[in-house]
Amino acid sequence: MKKVNFFFLFVCIFYVLFSFCCNPTGKYIGENAIRFDSVQIAETYYIHDDTTRPGCNIQISFIYPDSADNRLLMPMQDIFVEKFFGDSYKNLNPEQATLKYICQYIQDFQALENLVPDSIAPTEDEHYKDESGYTCYAKLQNHILFNRGDFLSFTVELTSYEGGAHSSKSIYGYVINLKTCDLLQDDQLAGNDYDSHISKIMIDSIVKRNGVAKPEDLENLGYNSISDIHPNNNFTIDEKGITYYFNEDEIGGTLLGLTQIFIPCEEIKLYLADDSPVKTLW
């Protein structure tokens, strides 16, 4: 009964917060005729409803297309919801997806109540917490980076803690081709030897950034084999070029964190396919 009551209360709170946090008039970003709206929600839940006990915190800052050409709006919203919340949410609208995600996060945390008996004093369960006082937390947000020339480019960022010594952060970049309303992929960019040429540009950029003499020296700094550094389909574009994102443990150890590599359009367009959609931009 406790969980049912909590869920009902949470639904009510959510819709009150949602009505105040959403921007009802929306806003335009860039020159493409797309209006965006947003929702910002923060919720905290403590084991046994005791604020001295371990708790979870979930923060969501979600911006999504709210008004556009009828041909584009629903496909764009589907992409934004799926890439922000995950595959299992792709058939929901932004409001439904946000509610379901937060409820699921807190319900998953509630399962920990069985691991912390009532008989344990709050001061004895400090080992369940990190320095923030939460056993777990998640901050999920996205950013519109570019919205011109029939392209819409955005990132989704997740910062989370689920136990252990450190929190983790990941960034995923996406580019929507508004002519087709599909996500742009590496293979739509690639001309002859695209992968090998762009890999070399990436490696040279990391070598220069770290001030080492040769690519092999990167392995002494915590990077994996340099053969792991290649286009990974995780990128955004703008009028100046393309930015690739490599998350923790992808090309190096956890302590290296996120690696971003920007390649100017003057360099990358030499290796683009003749029919690449971005040729109209660069």
Q: Could you state, in order of their start, the residue ranges of all structural domains in the chain?
A: 2-183, 186-280
Q: Is the CATH number of domain 186-280 3.30.559.10?
A: no
Query: Would you say 231 and 244 are in contact if contact means Cβ atoms under 8 Å apart?
Result: yes
**Which is it for strands 55-67 and 134-148: parallel, antiparallel or unpaired?**
parallel
The per-residue pLDDT for range 237-265, each reduced to its tens digit, is: 999 999 999 999 899 888 788 999 999 99
**How far apart are the C-alpha atoms of 282 and 264, rounded to whole Å?**
10
What's the CA angle centered on 197, arms 192 and 198, to 5 degrees? 110
The per-residue pLDDT for range 266-277, each reduced to its tens digit, is: 999 999 999 999
Query: Would you say 142 and 156 are in contact if contact means Cβ atoms under 8 Å apart?
Result: yes
Q: Is the CATH number of domain 2-183 3.30.565.40?
A: yes
Give phi and psi for 143, each to the nearest 5: -140, 135
**In DSSP terms, which residues pair with 146 in a beta bridge?**
153
What's the CA angle centered on 65, arms 240 and 246, to 5 degrees? 45
Length of the chain: 282
Q: Which residue has the tokens 């081709």?
A: 177
pTM to 2 decimal places: 0.85
The per-residue pLDDT for range 39-53, each reduced to its tens digit, is: 999 999 888 788 888
